[in-house]
Amino acid sequence: MTRHIILDSETDFDGWRSAARALALHDIAPRDVVWRASGNEPDLFAPAAAVLPDGPHDLTFNVPAQFIELAQTAILHRDPERFALLYRLLWRLRMNHDLLDIATDPDVVRVTDMVRAVRRDEHKMHAFVRFREIGRERDTHFVAWFEPEHHIVELAAPFFMRRFADMNWSILTPYICAHWDGHRLSFTPGTGRDEAPTEDRLEDVWRSYYARIFNPARLKVKAMQTEMPKKYWRNLPEASLIKSLVANASRASREMIAAEATAPRKPQQREQPMARKSSSHDSLSSLREEAAGCRACHLWKDATQTVFGEGPAHVQVMLVGEQPGDKEDLAGKPFVGPAGQMLDRALKEAGIDRKKVYVTNAVKHFKFVPRGKIRLHQKPNTPEIRACRQWYERELATINPELVVAMGATAAQSVFGKITPINKTRGRLIDIGDGRKALVTVHPSYLLRLPDEDARAREYERFIDDLKTAATQLHRDKAA
């Protein structure tokens, strides 16, 4: 007998999970189940939803946590077959707990591709939503129109909530709309494109910003179209400039070459391709690639390269420093110079394996003034920290750590989104939303600068104590 399962919505993971569990406990094979989301009934005479008897409560089964993570993301894919695919995987996992490790299994390949597509769509939404202003002063509201490929609006909305916390905004899409009023995130049914405003003064701001950051010498039309596919262009104010900027690019680059000779720039370090990439790793590497071309402030001009964060794609603890120094700028890796050595030593003493944490900086380009042969480090200012904050936020959303350790004032400013005195907050676990905590401590280079040996030893011990607090997070998870 065929069972018809009707979920409350396209993104009803909880509904899918409890139905799948009940079906599996009743030994109902995947081929005997038809899944769909409410509102997608094929016709008026579609069969009614199955009512499953209560499961045998004493029976249970476990699936790997990795499957739940995959399923939560894959269920956001547009493919109507996803519910059935996920149930088939669940069914098969009961027989083979290691099924997800078989990278060539067709169901595993398909679910992995789905997860990758959803993550990519989420990333595109983060990058290509453009708000337009409607109303004025106290009634100002920002509205954007976006057409996602998959059901990712609820997934992507918290990013905009954090990023534009002090604006009232709405993101309208054909499937669901997200709204933020400064306090609460809410969702309403999808709408038509005509609901979204088309022109406003922000358009000009976007256009002139884009024209400023457009670098004709680095123009790669194909890569540009992959990163910013044409289908997004009609909602992007800057898209109207692309044709003429591309057409003028070769003349502009000849002019650039004639205008000034600059020191050769080091090529961007690319990640080695891995045998089997996880989807979150994919999105971390696509973030890294995008950040490599960042022009959000002027610091890229003198730096060798963007120094992006480094570490596993999912960790419990993320360490944030200030900005790359001279050595990091050349190596393209964070914390490899003297401050990095100090950090490595302290991490070891605190019982933290650096390979198990993600290490990044609030500002991703080296800021310095040349003094003869050396490049003197300069502290980044607030506009530079703000311009770079998008990368920290996107790393945070991708890595999804439970604890962020802010080392020094610049890191604390980025983590809390405002100037945060270290002494008042140091060493305490502070809630920063999304179930995450932050811990503020000093920057390792502060220890290197202390002239007095006793003070240095004292401060080093305090730094280790702070890192030990972070270590409890790692070890607590291991124990749980």
Binding region for ligand URA (CB under 6 A): 321-325, 328, 334-335, 337, 339-340, 361, 443, 445
3-class SS of residue 357: coil
- The least distance separating ligand URA from the CB of residue 224, rounded to whole angstroms, comes to 30
Choice between 154 and 393, CB closer to ligand URA: 393
DSSP string, 99-128: GGG-TT-HHHHHHHHHHHHHHHHHHHHHHH
- Least Cβ distance, residue 428 to ligand URA (angstroms): 21
Nearest residue (CB) to ligand URA, 311 versus 325: 325
Residue among 148 and 325 whose Cβ is closer to ligand URA? 325
Please identify, using beta-carbon distances, which residue of 16 and 463 lies nearer to ligand URA.
463
Placement of tokens 């993550």 in the chain: 119
Q: Which residue is nearest to ligand URA (CB)?
A: 321
CA pseudo-torsion sign 243, 245, 246, 248: positive
**Contact by Cβ (8 Å): 440, 422:** yes
CB of 165 to ligand URA, least distance (A): 26
φ, ψ of residue 440 in degrees (nearest 5): -100, 135
Beta-carbon neighbour count of residue 329 at 10 Å?
Answer: 23
**Backbone phi, then psi, for 74, in 5-degree steps?**
-65, -30
Minimum distance of ligand URA from residue 433's CB (angstroms): 24
Selection from 387, 384, 368, 365 nearest residue 376 by Cα = 368
Q: Which pair of tokens denotes residue 449?
A: 């600068």
Burial readout 356-388 (b: 16 or more C-beta within 10 A, e: otherwise): ebbbbbbbbbbbbeeeeeebebeebeeebbebb
Q: For residues 391 and 299, what is the distance between their CA atoms, to the nearest angstrom?
A: 14
Q: How far is the CB of 449 from ligand URA (least distance, A)?
A: 12
Cβ proximity to ligand URA, 196 vs 464, nearer residue = 464
Cβ contacts of 47-52, under 8 Å, gap ≥ 24? 47/2, 47/4, 48/4, 49/4, 49/5, 49/6, 50/3, 50/4, 50/5, 52/3, 52/19, 52/22, 52/23, 52/26
How many C-alpha atoms does 171 have within 13 Å on its Cβ side? 27
Q: How far is the CB of 334 from ligand URA (least distance, A)?
A: 4
Beta carbons within 8 Å of 445's beta carbon, 6+ residues apart: 322, 325, 338, 339, 342, 408
CB of 289 to ligand URA, least distance (A): 19
Residue 340 or residue 401: which is nearer to ligand URA going by CB? 340
The CB-of-341 to ligand URA minimum distance in angstroms stands at: 10
Identify which of residues 291 and 339 has a Cβ nearer to ligand URA in the complex: 339
Alpha helices in 360-443 (DSSP H): 382-399, 409-416, 422-425
Q: Identify which of residues 6 and 342 has a Cβ nearer to ligand URA in the complex.
A: 342
Q: How far is the CB of 329 from ligand URA (least distance, A)?
A: 9
- Output 122 or 329, the one with its CB closest to ligand URA: 329
Residue 173 or 445: the one with the smaller Cβ distance to ligand URA is 445
Q: Is 430 helix (H, G, I), strand (E, B) or coil?
A: strand
Query: In the complex, what is the shortest distance from the CB of residue 463 to ligand URA, in angstroms, rounded to a whole number?
Result: 14
Contacts of 257 (CB under 8 A, 6+ apart): 217
